[in-house]
Amino acid sequence: MSMVHSESPKTPHTSSNQVGRKRFPWSHVVGYLLSIAFTWFAFELVSHRAMHFGPLLFAILALGVLQILVQLLFFMHVLEKHGPRYHILAFATAMFFVFVFVGSSLWIMSFNTPM
């Protein structure tokens, strides 16, 4: 009785000419360019005083959030499927604590009472 070995479904399908060949990291280039663009845009908004303080603060915060998303998606590969699931849980817990600390700090500073 002979056994036929079939290819495992977890084995990546690569042709012989792709083995040992590295692809150009286009996602890193795009992430880098987006990071530069967001930083430049924030700098231009502040240096030219393009808005009043309230909308300017909101725009800077929005650009900061976009910058965080670019870093997480393009460089830290948060959405890739092959990593362990507990990383997403740890990331969610960290974001919860960041929002609690920042929110409570802003809440405390909003009282503005002298000692």
**Domain tally, the chain:** 1
Q: Which of 49-53, 79-83, 86-90 has the lowest mean pLDDT?
A: 79-83
Q: Is the pTM of this model over 0.85?
A: no
Residue 103 lies in a domain: yes
Q: What is the mean pLDDT of residues 21-31?
A: 89
Residue 96 lies in a domain: yes
Residue 39 lies in a domain: yes
The DSSP result for 31-67, as a single string, is: HHHHHHHHHHHHHHHHHTT-S-HHHHHHHHHHHHHHH
Q: Which domain holds residue 60?
A: 26-109
